[in-house]
Amino acid sequence: MLAIYKRELKSYFRSFIGFLFIAVTLFFLGLYFSVYNLMNGYPYFAYVVSSVTFLFMLTVPILTMRILAEEKRSKTDQLILTAPVSVGGIVMGKFLALLTIFAIPVAIICFYPLIMAQYGSVPMGEAYLSILAYFLFGMTAIAIGLFLSSVTESQVIAAVLTFFVLFLGYMMDSICSIISSTGNLLTRLLRCFDLYTPFSNLLNGTLDVSSIVYYVSVTALVLFLTVQSIQKRRYSMSVKNLSFSAYSTGMIAVAVALVVVVNIIMGEMPSSWTAIDMTSQKLYSLTDQTVDYVKNMQDDVTIYVLVNQDNQDTTLGQTLQRYDDLSDHITVEYVDPTVNPMFYTQYTTGNISTNSLIVVSDKRSKVIDYNDVYESSYDFDYSTYSYNTTTTGYDGEGQITSALDYVLNDNMPKVYMTTGHNELSLSNTFTSALNKENVDYETVNLMDLDAIPDDAACLFINGATSDFSSDDKDKVIDYLDNGGKVILVTGYTDEETPNIDAILSYMNLSIAKGLVVENDSNGYYRSPYYILPTQSSDSYTSGTYGKYLFLPYSQGIIVPEEVSTDETATGEITYDVFLSTSDSSFAKQDVNNTQDFSQSENDMNGPFALGVEAVKTLDDGDATLVVYGCEQLFTDDADSVVSGANLTLFTNTFSGMTDHETSVSIPVKSYEVSNLLVDSAQILLLGLLVTVILPVGSMIAGFVIWFRRRKK
| Residues 515 and 606 sit within 8 Å (Cβ to Cβ) | no
397 lies in some domain:
no
| Residues 177 and 312 sit within 8 Å (Cβ to Cβ) | no
| Residues 612 and 559 sit within 8 Å (Cβ to Cβ) | yes
User: What pLDDT is stored for residue 593 in this prediction?
Assistant: 67
User: What pLDDT is stored for residue 614 in this prediction?
Assistant: 92
User: What pLDDT is stored for residue 24 in this prediction?
Assistant: 93
Average per-residue pLDDT in the chain?
A: 85
Which of 489, 616, 484 has its CA nearest to residue 557? 489
CA distance linking residue 559 with residue 540, whole number of Å: 18
| Residues 372 and 399 sit within 8 Å (Cβ to Cβ) | yes
Q: Picking from 115-119, 322-326, 371-375, 385-389, which range would have the lowest pLDDT averaged per residue?
A: 385-389
Q: Which of 401-405, 472-476, 697-701 has maximum average pLDDT? A: 472-476
Q: Does residue 454 sit in the same domain as residue 318?
A: no
- The pLDDT of 170-193, averaged and rounded, is 81
391 lies in some domain:
no
User: What pLDDT is stored for residue 710 in this prediction?
Assistant: 65
Q: Does residue 202 sit in the same domain as residue 338?
A: no
Conformational region of residue 193, where left means phi above 0, alpha means psi within -120 to 50, and beta covers everything else: alpha
Specify burial of residue 149 (Cβ count, 10 A radius: 0-12, 13-18, 19+): buried
Q: Picking from 396-405, 438-447, 665-674, which range would have the lowest pLDDT averaged per residue?
A: 665-674
Q: Does residue 351 sit in the same domain as residue 438?
A: no
Total count of domains within the chain: 3
386 lies in some domain:
no
The pTM assigned to this predicted structure is 0.68
pLDDT above 90 as % of the chain: 34
| Residues 662 and 681 sit within 8 Å (Cβ to Cβ) | no
User: What pLDDT is stored for residue 102 in this prediction?
Assistant: 95
In single-letter form, the type of residue at position 103 comes to A
In single-letter form, the type of residue at position 366 comes to K
Higher pLDDT, 237 or 425: 425
Q: Does residue 143 sit in the same domain as residue 226?
A: yes
User: What pLDDT is stored for residue 380 in this prediction?
Assistant: 52
In single-letter form, the type of residue at position 424 comes to L
Q: Does residue 508 sit in the same domain as residue 557?
A: yes
User: What pLDDT is stored for residue 383 in this prediction?
Assistant: 60
| Residues 400 and 322 sit within 8 Å (Cβ to Cβ) | no
Q: Which of 187-196, 208-217, 563-572, 604-613 has maximum average pLDDT? A: 208-217
Q: Does residue 238 sit in the same domain as residue 141?
A: yes
Beta strands in 541-630 (DSSP E): 551-552, 557-558, 573-580, 586-588, 604-605, 609-618, 621-628
User: 531-553 burial, b if ≥16 CB within 10 A, otherwise e?
Assistant: bbbbbeebebbebbeeeebbbbb
Where would I find the H helices in 620-678?
A: 636-641, 645-657
User: What pLDDT is stored for residue 547 in this prediction?
Assistant: 80
Q: Does residue 356 sit in the same domain as residue 487?
A: no
Peptide bond into 667 cis (omega under 30): no
| Residues 476 and 486 sit within 8 Å (Cβ to Cβ) | yes
Confidence label for 239 from pLDDT (cuts 50, 70 and 90): very low
User: 46-58 burial, b if ≥16 CB within 10 A, otherwise e?
Assistant: bbbbbbbbebbbe
664 lies in some domain:
no
CB count, 10 Å around CB of 298? 6
Higher pLDDT, 386 or 334: 334
Residues 6+ apart with CB under 8 A from 261: none
| Residues 49 and 36 sit within 8 Å (Cβ to Cβ) | no
Q: In a 3-state reduction of DSSP, which class is residue 669? A: strand
Q: What is the dihedral of CA 220, 225, 228, 232, to 10 degrees?
A: -160
User: What pLDDT is stored for residue 388 in this prediction?
Assistant: 64
Model confidence at 243: pLDDT above 60: no
377 lies in some domain:
no
- The pLDDT of 434-444, averaged and rounded, is 83
User: What pLDDT is stored for residue 602 in this prediction?
Assistant: 83
CA distance linking residue 257 with residue 265, whole number of Å: 12
Between β-strands 386-394 and 414-418, what pairing exists: parallel, antiparallel or unpaired? Answer: unpaired
316 lies in some domain:
yes
CA distance linking residue 536 with residue 49, whole number of Å: 46
Higher pLDDT, 387 or 703: 703
CA distance linking residue 359 with residue 299, whole number of Å: 13
Model confidence at 208: pLDDT above 80: yes
Q: Does residue 273 sit in the same domain as residue 294?
A: no
Give per-residue pLDDT as tens, 640-682: 888 788 888 898 888 888 875 545 667 778 776 778 888 889 9
Confidence label for 565 from pLDDT (cuts 50, 70 and 90): very low
Query: Which CATH number is 542's domain given?
Result: 3.40.50
CA distance linking residue 643 with residue 655, whole number of Å: 20
Confidence label for 4 from pLDDT (cuts 50, 70 and 90): confident
Domain end call among 350, 372, 394: 372
Q: Does residue 336 sit in the same domain as residue 436?
A: no
646 lies in some domain:
yes
Strands, sheet with 365-368, edge to edge from the N-terminal-most edge strand: 330-334, 301-305, 357-360, 365-368
User: 11-43 burial, b if ≥16 CB within 10 A, otherwise e?
Assistant: ebbeebbbbbbbbbbbbbbbbbbbbbbbeebbb
Q: Does residue 571 sit in the same domain as residue 707?
A: no
pLDDT above 70 as % of the chain: 89
Domain end call among 321, 344, 372: 372
Confidence label for 237 from pLDDT (cuts 50, 70 and 90): very low
User: 473-492 burial, b if ≥16 CB within 10 A, otherwise e?
Assistant: bbbbbebbeeebbbbbbbbb
- The pLDDT of 615-621, averaged and rounded, is 85
- The pLDDT of 420-445, averaged and rounded, is 86
Give per-residue pLDDT as tens, 71-106: 666 555 555 556 566 778 888 999 999 999 999 999
Model confidence at 26: pLDDT above 90: yes
CB count, 10 Å around CB of 211? 24
Confidence label for 230 from pLDDT (cuts 50, 70 and 90): confident
How many residues are given for the chain? 712
User: What pLDDT is stored for residue 377 in this prediction?
Assistant: 67
Model confidence at 707: pLDDT above 60: yes
The parent domain of residue 528 ranges over 414-659
Helices vs strands, H then E, count in the chain? 25, 25
User: What pLDDT is stored for residue 95 in this prediction?
Assistant: 93
CA distance linking residue 322 with residue 277, whole number of Å: 11
- The pLDDT of 593-619, averaged and rounded, is 84
CA distance linking residue 574 with residue 531, whole number of Å: 25
Q: Picking from 50-59, 374-383, 470-479, 592-601, which range would have the lowest pLDDT averaged per residue?
A: 374-383
Query: Which CATH number is 299's domain given?
Result: 3.40.30.10
Q: Does residue 211 sit in the same domain as residue 347?
A: no
CB count, 10 Å around CB of 454? 8
User: What pLDDT is stored for residue 543 in this prediction?
Assistant: 77
CA distances to 44, 467, 502, 634, 657 from 492, rounded to whole Å, are 46, 11, 16, 15, 24
Give per-residue pLDDT as tens, 305-349: 999 887 888 888 889 988 998 889 999 999 988 888 889 888 887
Q: Does residue 591 sit in the same domain as residue 532?
A: yes
Where would I find the H helices in 369-512?
A: 396-408, 428-436, 470-481, 498-505
Conformational region of residue 390, where left means phi above 0, alpha means psi within -120 to 50, and beta covers everything else: beta
119 lies in some domain:
yes
CA distances to 170, 183, 336, 355 from 310, rounded to whole Å, are 16, 7, 10, 11
Beta strands in 301-373 (DSSP E): 301-305, 330-334, 357-360, 365-368
